Amino acid sequence: MNVQVQTKTIQIRCIRKSDRQNPHERITHVGGIEDGGWCISQEVAIAHIESRAWRFWVSRAGFPSVWVVVAVSRSGNKYLKTEGDGESLNNLLSLPECPQT
């Protein structure tokens, strides 16, 4: 039996960062407002993307929306970034800080 999984599409509206300077290690959590608000670790977000359960996107006024993808650093660590994210202003690190819960 072939079962298809419905992918949930969710906008990331905020992040939590560590005090590290390396952008590949800097984001610790991502969050949004759907379903009453949420904040999950970067590791959980990566697992959702890789399992195709969730698909995340980012939007900022005046810029087109972009998908969030899993990337791998030179040292082999997985992290989140937006598609086409070079030095673009429209990326995860430009989002506001998620409130503490």
Which pTM value belongs to this model?
0.82
Rounded to 5 degrees, φ, ψ at 94 are -85, -5
Does the pLDDT value for residue 6 go beyond 90? no
Q: How far apart (Å, rounded) are the C-alpha atoms in residues 16 and 12? A: 11
> For the segment 27-59, what is each residue's pLDDT rounded down to a tens digit?
999 999 887 889 999 999 999 999 999 999 998
Residue ranges per structural domain of the chain = 8-94
Q: Are 6 and 88 in contact (CB under 8 A)?
A: no
More confidently predicted of 1 and 10: 10
